[in-house]
Amino acid sequence: MEKREKELRELLECVRKCKKCGLWKTRNKVVFGEGPINAKIMLIGQAPGKQEDKVGKPFVGRAGKLLNKLLRKAGIKRDECFITSVLKCFPPKNRKPKKQEIRKCKPYLLKQIELIRPKVIVLLGNTAVEAILGKTKLKEVRGKKFFINHMLFVPTYHPAAALRFKQLEKKIEKDLSIAKAFYELCSNHKSN
pLDDT digits (tens, 9 = 90+) for 44-57: 999 999 999 999 99
- Arithmetic mean of pLDDT, 165-190: 87
Tens digits of per-residue pLDDT, 131-161? 999 866 888 899 888 998 889 999 999 999 9
190 has a pLDDT exceeding 80? no
Count other Cβ atoms within 10 Å, centred on residue 110. Answer: 12
CA–CA distance, 1 with 63 (Å, rounded to integer): 32
Q: Which residues contact 4 (CB under 8 A, 6 or more apart)?
A: 37, 115, 116
pLDDT bucket at 192, cuts 50 / 70 / 90: very low
Would you state the pLDDT for residue 188?
A: 64
Mean pLDDT of 23-51: 95
Q: Where are any strands of DSSP class E within 15-164?
A: 41-45, 81-85, 120-124, 146-148, 151-156
When the pLDDT of each residue in the chain is averaged and rounded to a whole number, the result is 92
Tell me: pLDDT of 191 over 60: no
3-state secondary structure labels for all residues of 81-123: EEEEECCCCCCHHHCCCCHHHHHHHHHHHHHHHHHHCCCEEEE
Task: Using the predicted structure, report yes or no on whether residue 23 has a pLDDT greater than 50.
Answer: yes
37-72 CB burial, b ≥16 within 10 A, e <16: bebbbbbbbbbbbebbbeebbbbbbebbebbeebbe
Residue 12 in this model has a pLDDT that exceeds 60: yes
pLDDT of 183 reads: 83
Show the domains of the chain with their CATH numbers: 2-185 (3.40.470.10)
Please, are residues 83 and 33 in contact by the beta-carbon 8 Å criterion?
yes
